[in-house]
Structure 1
Amino acid sequence: MNTKKELIKKKVDFLFWALALGGLFLNLVGLVLIRIFLPPSDRVVILHYNSFLGIDAMSFNFRDEYFQLFLAPIGSLAIWLVNFLIALTFSKHSKDPEANFPEKKLVSYLLLSSGLVVQIELGIYLGALLVVNF
């Protein structure tokens, strides 16, 4: 029969991986949505609006410019990856019996949560981008 400590450990590990894989999943969904709804073409895509300069638009006449649409998801993926690797090191070090378990787990959860927030902000950006251009 499972003891209380084993059940808590399973819940803690589940939360860690749920936060980590949730952030990765949201980023991959963003990449797929860009690829599906904004394929390379000759039309102009509005990236963002600047109050001083107006609309910053990008033409898809050349494939060299198409990669610029993927800079935001790749940047947020890099932020997620750094947060995940640091959280993983905190999580592994916290398995040491001499270590201060709750504080290190808390830091790993905060890092993964901040990575998830970045992915949610990316989703908001991509949602606005798709609404304006689709």
Structure 2
Amino acid sequence: MSNELENMLIAKQITPTPMRVMVLEYILNQTTAISLNDLENEFQHSDRITIYRTVKTFEEKGLIHDIRDGNEGTKYALCDKDCTSGVHYDMHLHFYCTSCKELMCLPKEDMPVIKLPDSFQLQEVSFVARGICDTCSNNAIQLH
């Protein structure tokens, strides 16, 4: 697995270091977006600045994207498209569960078409839907 992770980093022109490989592996194993705090808790014995720089490098090189949920701050998830340095193509819907407080990418959901005036240049779009996720909904049904 380590070689595969290193190759993912190299493909994005990121020098593989032990910390970068561990952070990438952690991100790949998550089903929801993560925060810097999540990473700091996972890697308690690591330098916070190193974790922060790792995340920023991943984001700048198009390996992960940031999501601002308007509530909990910024979270990060793996890019699902072939994003590059500074250019993210993975515009998709995100869902914030108001019950469990998790933020999830929903890349298979259709995005609305955004028509801007000719002189406008679109740089970023962020769509965060809020509600109750399927797990929390199912748990609520089972309690009744």
With normalisation by structure 1, the TM-score equals 0.22
**Which structure has the larger Rg?**
1
More helix, by proportion: 1
Greater length-normalized contact order (CA 8 Å, ≥ 6 residues apart): 1
More strand, by proportion: 2
